[in-house]
Every structure is written in structure tokens, then in C-alpha cells.
Amino acid sequence: MRMLINVPETVVADALRGMAAAHPELTVDVENRVVVRRDAPVAGQVALVSGGGSGHEPLHGGFVGPGMLSAACPGEVFTSPVPDQMLRAAAAVDSGAGVLFVVKNYTGDVLNFEMAAELAEDEGIRVAKVLVDDDVAVTDSLYTAGRRGTGATLFVEKIAGAAADEGQPLERVEAVARQVNENARSFGVALSACTTPAKGSPTFDLPDGELEFGVGIHGEPGRERRPMMTSREIADAAVHAILDDMTPRNPVLVLVNGMGATPLLELYGFNAEVQRVLTERGVAVARTLVGNYVTSLDMAGASVTLCQIDEELLRLWDAPVSTPGLRWGR
């Protein structure tokens, strides 16, 4: 096993200590596994809380800051955080305007955030929840009932975070988050398996010369195994899979996301092919983001997320944001 770690048992705590040292604008509670923007709670603002298993960085801790999340709860690698973390995060960031939980559609996340919402409401904290379920590759998977939550999580957290930053009320921030999720679709492809620190070996078998078409961000099986394809062929297949499920009437946001081990040289080349397909299909592109944002440890591969937007959603997307993983306009 070749990993830049000490021991598997401390990998998340070690990462959180490093995050705290690198980002003094955040309050990082290593023991209780909560990352909070240092100026929280912000008077009059709805707070956004999200979280999930570690191994998807910068999601979610890297998206804590003005214009995006108020707090994040990192679980162990590929393991849901627990309700106590979520409750602690909600209490730390609630200004009285309410808290929106952004939940990826994985069974552990859904159950634990539901329990945390009940606990928070018992303590007088108003809570709303939005479920992100954008992956069109499969309907059900090893970890979900229904579609998996993947790249659209970034769009939901950024756009809803901007709405909260403007002082919009909880009901409106929740509605914006739901609109973004409903307008977004994703599809991913793995060129190699990922390796968890605890296992020390690939989490699934992917023979040389094959790829997993429609993979999940934990290495869950996709639609099928296919012989290795070119970037052009993968873009054709992935974008068509998304557009078979949605017919954009408005321009779209595009996320070309690396799974963790794919260099930008390849991702930008892949983006060129994605843009080609969208042009051929008559889909207008408003903004494009390319990079590693919703990752799967050291998996090679990429995902594409499209989100249909209107002028208001685009304005919120363009609004300033200042987090470790996403920053512009400030």
C-alpha cells in the first residue's frame, strides 16, 4: 500500500488537523468531526449544513465558507457521519433563521440526517432538508433507494449558499436548493478502482482494458463494463445518457469533475469533447467548471453534471464564494 498516511485509523483526524492549520478562517473540531465557518452563526442568515463520508474531498469540508456551507460533518472514509455530528453542527451555525440540511441520497446519510433533524427540532432549531439524487446511471444501487447523489451536490450547495448569504428566508433557500437538484443530472465513468486506507487494495476488480460505465462515487457498479473507450467516445455516451433523461430548455451549468486521480490535462481534453456534444445537441452552456470537486479517493475517471438554469440561478451561481475548494468574486 502506497499512501501518504500514518495509519488508516487516524487518516480522517490527521486530515482535519491539516485542514485546520491551512485554513484559519475555519473552526475545525477534530475530536467531534465538525468543520464550521469561523464567523458562524451569521445573524439573520439561514445556515447550510452538509456532510458525508470522507474520501470525496473537497466535498464537503472544502466547501465551508461565505457563500456556500456554514458547516460540514465528515464521516469516516465512505461512511456516513452520525446524528450527533450533525446536531452539533446545526447548533453551532443556527442564528435563529433556520438550518438547511443538504443530503446526498445514500441510505446512511438519509437516515442519520433525518434523526439529526428531529433532534435539532427538539432543541428549537428550525430545520429543512433537501435530498440530492442526480445520478442517472442507475435507479437503485448498493447504497441507495433511488438515484445516487453526486456532482449536483456542488451546484446545490453553491447556489443555495448564495441565496442564504443574501438573507433569503429558509423556505426560499430550500426551494432554490430543490430547484437546482430537480434541474441537474450526472453520469460518471471509472477507469480504475479506488483504494480505501482500511482495505489497502482496490475496492473492486476492474480488469485492464475495461471501464465501469456509470460508476458511483464509492465505486458502486454502474450500468455495465465496457472495453476502454476514447475521451470522445466517453463524452458521447455520458452526455447522451444525461440528455436522454432531461431536455434543457434553458442554458446549463456544466461540471466536468475528476474522480481524484485524473489530471487536469485529461479533464480539460474531456471537457472539449463534452462541449462538442452539447453543441451538436443544441444545448447552450452558461458556465463550465473543470476539476476535482466530488472525488473518490484515488479513482481514475470523470463525471459530467449538467444543471439547467434561469437568470436567477445563474446570478446566484456567479455570486461571491470563499471556501477552500471554491473561490471567486471576493
Residues identified as active-site = 56, 218
Closest CA to 296 of 233, 208, 203, 234: 203
From the list 42, 34, 95, 107, the residue with the least C-alpha distance to 68 is 42
Q: Which residues pair with 50 in a beta bridge?
A: 72, 102
Q: Three-state SS for 17?
A: helix
Q: What is the DSSP string of 205-256?
A: ---TTEEEET--TT----SEEEE---HHHHHHHHHHHHHTT---SS-EEEEE
CA angle 223, 309, 59 (to 5 degrees): 60
Side-chain half-sphere CA neighbours of 250 within 13 A: 15
Strands 210-213 and 224-227: antiparallel
- Sign, Cα dihedral of 106, 107, 110, 115: negative
Here the cell at position 95 is 442564528
